[in-house]
Amino acid sequence: MSFSKKFLKSRAACKVQFTVTAEQAQGASCVYLVGDFNSWSSASNPMKKLKNGGFSLEVDLPSGQDYQFRYVTDSGLWFNDDKADAYVPSPFSGDDNSLVKV
């Protein structure tokens, strides 16, 4: 897993490209990006399946903020990004959430 950031000069936003490898997806047919930017909706941001079996999604996020997020598969497996900017305790479970700082 990883993500890349591209800050826009035309407005205060950042294009963040989120990527999950086929190995990390563990055979899932769908992976969703969920976070506080989409009210933790598992239906709002489905990731595109790549030819190599991985998944990818680009999201525009307002810059100057930190966003908590996780990935969830169609089988209900939740997991973090292993290259997140930081990790913060989830208020709803004993797990941490990934953090992207834009």
Distance of CA 91 to the CA centre of its chain: 18
Q: If you average pLDDT over residues 15-26, what whole number do you get?
A: 94
3-state helix, strand, coil in the chain (%, to 5): 5, 50, 45
What is the domain extent for residue 59?
A: 2-101
pLDDT attached to residue 3: 87
Q: How many domains, in total, are found in the chain?
A: 1
Q: If you average pLDDT over residues 42-50, what whole number do you get?
A: 94
The yes-or-no verdict on residue 2 having pLDDT over 80 is yes
Q: Give the tokens for residue 54.
A: 């991985």
Residue 58 sits in a domain whose CATH number is: 2.60.40.10
- pTM for this entry: 0.92
The yes-or-no verdict on residue 1 having pLDDT over 80 is no
pLDDT band at 38 (very low <50, low <70, confident <90, very high): very high
pLDDT band at 94 (very low <50, low <70, confident <90, very high): confident
The DSSP line for 83-101 is T-SEEEE-SSSSSEEEEEE
